[in-house]
Structure 1
Amino acid sequence: MAIDTVYTISSKAAGGGRDGEVVSATGQIDLALQPPKEMGGSGEGSNPEELFSAGYAACFLGALRATSKQAGTPVSDDSTVTVTIGIGKDPEDGGFGLTAAIEAYIPGVDQAKAQELAEGAHAFCPYSKATRGNIAQTVTATV
């Protein structure tokens, strides 16, 4: 797939990966990382799944706004997207895998239209494209 890149950003992880730090090239992100308590860590820092869920939620909401406007049903400013990322053992290879549950709150339309708009955003969102077929995903809409 050829991409006409208009923006790039890099971040550097140091220390122990999940037990270290991550800093973006701009310095806007400068975080201590700690595994969550559920994975044996202290839970006192951020973690890759938290960062991924934040980026995915913001990107998906942008995709929802763009695709709904193109479809002639712009979403209200009260619309939100919550992305819940899970991590666990992958029984196929013994490693780890991710899950993503995407919940779009789209007030002002009926349930069927909300789900249609959420599915349209899922088809358009770069994070969804990047993970499609690679992690288990669900997309639900509420009104």
Structure 2
Amino acid sequence: MTQAAKLLYTARTHTGGGRQDGMSRSSDGRLDVRLSPPGGAGIGTNPEQLFAAGWSACFEGAMEIAARKRKITLPRKCAIDAEIDLLLDEGAYSLRARLNVSLPGLDREVARDIVDEAHQTCPYSKAVRGNIDVAVALT
């Protein structure tokens, strides 16, 4: 990070109990969730769902910026279906991701350019680049 970088926001959470039977709360109280293992019988969500929600929301914001640069308005019904896989391979856990982007009504080539630019600029995409397998599809 350069010295000229401007801090825009810091998210703060407190988590206890982990994914087995935990909870996570944000410092401002807007997030207050129970945690449970993926596919388990627990009543809470899991970190993979939270990651999918955060990444897809951020990615849509990056698409909005890319569209504005082109003087295009994103379709009102644009959507991202994010899938985060939790993998176990030879005793080690890892993640794999798919972002399925829908931009109905946009020219396919223009939509592809917006999605590609968003994937280059989205902070979540940048954070995982080279660390996990990611597929970004235009549906």
TM-score (norm 1): 0.87
Q: Pick from 1, 4, 7 the counterpart of residue 5 of structure 1.
A: 7
Which SS does the other structure have where 2:85 is aligned?
strand
Q: Note the C-alpha offset of 1:31.
A: 1.1
- Post-superposition, which runs of at least 4 consecutive aligned residues in structure 1 deviate over 6 A? none
Which SS does the other structure have where 1:26 is aligned?
coil
Any gaps of 5 or more consecutive residues in structure 1?
Answer: none
Task: Give the letter aligned to residue 56 of structure 1.
Answer: W
Which SS does the other structure have where 1:31 is aligned?
strand
TM-score (norm 2): 0.90
Which residue in 2 is equivalent to 1:129? Answer: 126
Q: Note the C-alpha offset of 1:71.
A: 2.6
Any gaps of 5 or more consecutive residues in structure 2?
Answer: none
Identity across matched positions, percent:
38
Which SS does the other structure have where 1:6 is aligned?
coil
Task: Give the letter aligned to residue 118 of structure 1.
Answer: V
Equivalenced residues, count: 136
How many Å separate the matches in 1 of 2:70 and 2:56?
A: 21
Which SS does the other structure have where 2:19 is aligned?
coil
> Equivalent residues in 2 for 1:1-143 (5 A)?
1-2=1-2, 3-15=5-17, 17-19=18-20, 20-37=22-39, 41-91=40-90, 94-142=91-139
